[in-house]
Amino acid sequence: MRRETRVPRPTIADVARQAQVSKSTVSRVLNGQTSAMRATTHERVEQAIADLGYRPSALARSLTLGRSRTIGLLISDVGNPFYAEVIQGVEDLALSEGYSLFTANTRYDLLRAERLIASLADHEVDGVIVMSSMLSERCVALLRQRGIPAVVIDWPCQVEIGRVGAVRVDYASGIDQAIEHLVSMGHRVVGHLSGPAHLPTSQTRTTAFLEAMAARGLDAQSAPVVTGTLRMEGAGDALASFLAHSPQPTAILAANDQSALGLLFAAHGMGLSIPGDLSLIGLDDIRLASQVSPSLTTIALPRLHLGRMATEMLLGLVQGQAAEPPIATVTTRLVVRSSTAPPMKETR
């Protein structure tokens, strides 16, 4: 007794027949153009729709309308905890505006990114949000080439003309607060664990660090800056570098929470006390930051907001009501927790 027959979903024609009206009438009901319609007709159509459990085909609709109410979300790596909330922000707003999301991970692979973008274009997404720092430039170029509106998140480079927007992150504000926090507690030698040098965002953060130091008359020149990976791995080596540096830093600002946590765990492993022997500040405020022990003082990025803003901007571009210039900035702010404290007085 297997019912192999795939019951085809009802179409607008089925509804029309059932309600004894034309397809146009049904279509009007579907699109709310019901003002100049006889109440009984309206009623009959609604009834038929309900009876048949009819739902319009997004595919067919997209084809006729020329827009798909679909947007692409290009991410470098879902596994990066940083992105999760941004995704939520995007999804929330997109959903509430009736858009669906094609999500795709570039995996930091340009070839893959190209294929994904091609695929998104093939599916006629109305726009794309790009959150893939290393690949953003190429991605945006490809998208522009296909005439697809796009918004880049946290990509400090110049946004050229065209239907491309950008949501920037003002790291400097939070980083400045962080340095102020350390300095006011008495720290004088502060180290910086940066991200890979080729990432624009690493440079931005490092620059902001150096400027914040200089602004307080600290010797930014001799401040130990170690290049890390933005990941937890390898933090042990980085920590060793800091400890070998002279003068030895009493506090370290890491380029992100992951690497800060790497330092934290490495310190644990070496029997170093945080914040007793060393103060630590991260950046991002990922969930984990508040859950480790000691909880991590960090510079919070409003990620949900970031996602929402990007989506809002993209939908603006899609609907042609582009803000000029399509650039927005979100600020960061310090969240003080337990990984920072005044330095011990043995600062040589």
Site residues (vs DNA, CB under 7 A) = 8-9, 11-13, 20-28, 30-31, 36-38, 40-42, 56-57, 60-61, 63-66
Binds a second copy by CB under 8 A, chosen from 32, 36, 122, 221: 122
Report 223-252 residues binding a second copy (CB under 8 A): 232-233
| Site for a second copy contains 27 (CB under 8 A) | no
Binds a second copy by CB under 8 A, chosen from 52, 97, 102, 109: 102
- Give whichever of 47 and 347 is closer to DNA, judged by the CB atom: 47
> Smallest distance, Å, CB 163 to DNA?
19
Encoded tokens for 240: 């060793």
> Smallest distance, Å, CB 70 to DNA?
15
Partner interacting with residue 78 (select from DNA, a second copy, none; CB below 5-8 Å by kind)? a second copy
- Give whichever of 144 and 188 is closer to a second copy, judged by the CB atom: 144
> Smallest distance, Å, CB 30 to DNA?
5
Order of all β-strands in the sheet with 297-300: 225-227, 190-194, 251-254, 279-284, 297-300, 333-335
Number of helices (H) and strands (E) in the chain: give both, helices first. Answer: 12, 12
Partner interacting with residue 319 (select from a second copy, DNA, none; CB below 5-8 Å by kind)? none
| Site for a second copy contains 269 (CB under 8 A) | yes
DSSP string, 170-238: EHHHHHHHHHHHHHHTT---EEEEE--TTSHHHHHHHHHHHHHHHHTT--TTTS-EEE--SSSTTHHHH
Question: How far apart are alpha carbons 348 and 341 in whole angstroms?
Answer: 18
Dihedral of the alpha carbons of 235, 241, 244, 248, in degrees to the nearest 10: -80
Encoded tokens for 279: 């103060």
| Site for a second copy contains 60 (CB under 8 A) | yes
Give the CA angle between residues 193, 198, 201 to the nearest 5°.
65
Q: Of 152, 204, 151, 194, whose CA–CA distance to 316 is shortest?
A: 151
| Site for a second copy contains 327 (CB under 8 A) | no
| Site for a second copy contains 288 (CB under 8 A) | yes
> Smallest distance, Å, CB 84 to a second copy?
4
Question: How far apart are alpha carbons 336 and 338 in whole angstroms?
Answer: 7
Place of tokens 């790497």: 262
Q: How many amino acids of this chain bind a second copy (CB under 8 A)? A: 58
**For residues 298 and 336, is the Cβ–Cβ distance under 8 A?**
no
Binds a second copy by CB under 8 A, chosen from 147, 160, 221, 348: 147
DSSP string, 121-156: HHTT-SEEEEE-TTTHHHHHHHHHHTT--EEEES--
| Site for a second copy contains 266 (CB under 8 A) | yes
> Smallest distance, Å, CB 62 to a second copy?
5
| Site for a second copy contains 58 (CB under 8 A) | yes
| Site for a second copy contains 13 (CB under 8 A) | no
- Give whichever of 38 and 146 is closer to DNA, judged by the CB atom: 38
Question: How far apart are alpha carbons 329 and 306 in whole angstroms?
Answer: 9
Q: Of 249, 209, 247, 255, whose CA–CA distance to 228 is shortest?
A: 255
Encoded tokens for 87: 């995704």
- Give whichever of 173 and 259 is closer to a second copy, judged by the CB atom: 259
Q: Of 223, 145, 163, 227, whose CA–CA distance to 188 is shortest?
A: 223
- Give whichever of 57 and 207 is closer to a second copy, judged by the CB atom: 57
- Give whichever of 13 and 118 is closer to DNA, judged by the CB atom: 13
- Judged by the rule CB under 8 A, the positions of this chain that interact with a second copy are 2, 6-7, 9, 55-60, 62-63, 68, 70, 77-79, 81, 83-85, 87-88, 91, 95, 100-105, 107, 115-116, 118-124, 146-147, 161, 232-233, 261-262, 265-266, 268-269, 287-288, 291-294
